[in-house]
Amino acid sequence: MLVRDAMSTTVLTIGPAHTLHQAARLMSTRRVGAAVVLDPDTYGLGILTERDVLISVGLGQNPDTETAGTHTTTDVVFAAPSWTLEAAADAMSHGGFRHLIVMEGNEPAGIVSVRDIIRCWAPSRQRVATLTV
């Protein structure tokens, strides 16, 4: 199975000036765990995850004044829609992250998460477990 089969094509894109509160509200409303942060003036594409927001709040920082740009990961590993899910899972495992921005050309085409991969793998894993019982 390929990344294109598992990825979400709902890509939330925000700017670096969005507050963490605004970003969290948008992620919650769209039921996604990450937002692509687009800053063409500096680093281009980055990612802000629910974990980034949680760490900031846990440190006592104010989500109404902290900006996405301050908490964005800019050293991003991108996936291609043609990657296998095994390759995506391997990249996530080795990098210690749970989301990959999927790029098609120079544009984000989607995001694939660990949850997306598990959702694809779970039915086949359940069939194997049932057969061996």
What's residue 124's pLDDT? 59
Instruction: Assess whether pLDDT exceeds 80 at residue 44.
Output: yes
Give me the mean pLDDT over the 54-64 stretch. Answer: 98
pLDDT at position 9 over 70: yes
Per-residue confidence band for 10, with pLDDT thresholds at 50, 70 and 90: confident
How would you class 106 by CB atoms within 10 Å of its CB: exposed for 0-12, middle for 13-18, buried for 19 or more? exposed
Q: Are 38 and 13 in contact (CB under 8 A)?
A: yes
- Predicted local confidence at residue 58, as pLDDT: 97
- Predicted confidence at residue 126, as pLDDT, reads 55
pTM for the complete prediction?
Answer: 0.85
> For residue 44, what are the β-bridge partners?
39
Helix residue ranges per DSSP H, the chain: 3-6, 20-30, 50-58, 68-71, 85-95, 114-132
